[in-house]
Structure 1
Amino acid sequence: MAGLAATSFYWQGCAEGDAIAADRPLRELLRSGETVAMGIALDQIQRSWALSRFGGDVPYEDFEQEVLECARTLLRQPPTPAELSPYTGEGANHASALNAMMNIARAEDCGLIADVLERTSNPNVREAVASAAGAALSCCDDESAGCGRLVGLIGTFADDPRLPVLERARLLGALDRAPGATATALRDRGARFL
């Protein structure tokens, strides 16, 4: 796989990703309406943002709102089938969207993030949920409907002994800056548990 698909974390091994032209501008991929193209673009942009920590300009800085809208579009979709992205499994579209939102999610995204967490069984997607949820919950002023629901779901998953401890800890880590008594109680309980 060459070009964009080759460096897209969640779409490795995706036959459809092989067909995406490496010379298509990222903005075109974001606006394409094609799930795989949008996912690959989100992976590329998030990777560039992450690498900017090590110096240099922040690429695609003016893309933030467009990235959020693209990610929200993918989160509203059903999870992509595992066959589409063998490396990631079911829900690569959700994983790409959530990962791209790890620093830019807003309080209004809590409901979409909760919807994905509620229905996924994929540990890759749950890990991406933890990243996006932390950003979204840090923007909440109180335990409003969407924020409170997401905090409650994180608590449910963090209490599930069938999940690996590291996965549960990552989810609890999303509550670091979440407001409210429920989040505080979960953090305290998690600190004793872990």
Structure 2
Amino acid sequence: MFDSYHWQEALIDDAELASARSRLASGEGEGTDFLALLRSDCSVAVGVALDHYHHAETMTRFGDNNPFDPYSDEVLERARSILKSPTVLKSETGAYEDGANHSSALLVMTILVDPDAPEDRQAITSALQKASTRVSLEAAAEAAGVILSDASSLDQDLLNALADIILDESRDVWDRVRGIVALGNVTDRRAGDVLAKAARQKNPKIQLEAAIILSSRHMSTHRTAIEEITSSWPEDADYPQSLVLDALRAANTDGP
């Protein structure tokens, strides 16, 4: 049984929409119920619909079908439109936190974002710069990672937005790690440059997270940085440091 991620305590005043929500939450809802919520003018209803789409898509890993997949194009357009609108306050909607409408939209974007669409690149760049909650930051960073790894060309503005988070030593380490993780599948050397800078900072968690990705994606271009980071590590270091050391040993065996 699933209602939503961010809107469990938020009420829908419209009786028909509230009934559609209840049917979806019970598992007995249909596409018409989903579309009624998605197409409404109610922030709560739309947010619930977007959360249902994301949740259904995550369940496909267990062999389930996403019953809302036929509406993916409309879901994407709705998410895009929400990201162009102001965030809503929890005091106005009863949502779990401020900006829940953007959080729901960003979660959908992690699935449906078009890596080569300028409007999506700009929207995610803006979301990274404005994210005020962990949920919105994590979703924006994940969507950024999809764009940077899958796009036909690297978006420098988007990479810069992630770099601003990763390299800001005044920020919470959790935030910075989300930025690093977003670069996990990005092979462009410029992403490696950002990670190398992070790896040379003082925080050991940031060093390690950056080193793991450098060793798996950027060994040929950033071996020097990896060697600097690992020079003080014991040769028999435990996991996950061992991942980096094993990669470095393999690279040294294979030669430059």
TM-score tier, shorter chain, comes to: 0.7 to 0.9
Give 2:36's aligned residue. 28
Q: Which has the larger radius of gyration?
A: 2
Give 2:49's aligned residue. 41
> Which is further off, 15-24 or 49-58?
15-24
Give 1:55's aligned residue. 63
Task: Give CA-to-partner distance per residue, 1:43-101, whole Å, 9 cap, x none.
Answer: 01110111121123232222221111111011001111132456642211110001112
Q: Which residue identity does 2:195 align to in structure 1?
A: R
Tell me if 1:122 matches 2:133: yes
> Which is further off, 22-31 or 60-69?
22-31
Give 2:178's aligned residue. 170
Give 2:229's aligned residue. none
Cα deviation for residue 36 of structure 1 reads 2.0
Give 2:150's aligned residue. 139
CA contact (8 A) 2:11 2:94 kept: no
CA contact (8 A) 1:15 1:84 kept: no
Give 1:113's aligned residue. 124
Cα deviation for residue 190 of structure 1 reads 4.1
Structure 1-normalised TM-score? 0.83
Structure number with greater CO (CA < 8 Å, separation at least 6) is 1
Q: Distance in 1 between matches of 2:94 and 2:163?
A: 29
Match of 2:103 among 95, 110, 120: 95
Tell me if 1:82 matches 2:90: yes
Cα deviation for residue 38 of structure 1 reads 1.4
Cα deviation for residue 110 of structure 1 reads 1.5
Q: Distance in 2 between matches of 1:39 and 1:112?
A: 18
Q: Secondary structure at the match of 2:111?
A: coil
Tell me if 1:9 matches 2:5: yes
Q: Which residue identity does 1:42 align to in structure 2?
A: L
The alignment-based identity, stated in percent, is: 32
**Residue segments in structure 2 that go unaligned for 5+ positions in a row:** 22-32, 201-206, 210-256
CA contact (8 A) 1:10 1:85 kept: no
Cα deviation for residue 40 of structure 1 reads 1.0
Task: Give CA-to-partner distance per residue, 1:97-139, whole Å, 9 cap, x none.
Answer: 0111212211221110111221232222111112222222233
Cα deviation for residue 8 of structure 1 reads 0.8
Q: Secondary structure at the match of 2:91?
A: helix
CA contact (8 A) 2:113 2:147 kept: yes
Q: Which residue identity does 1:125 align to in structure 2?
A: S
Quickly say closer, same or farther: Cα 1:71–1:37, change in 2 above 3 A: same
Q: Distance in 2 between matches of 1:89 and 1:51?
A: 25
Q: Distance in 1 between matches of 2:196 and 2:112?
A: 26
Structure 2-normalised TM-score? 0.65
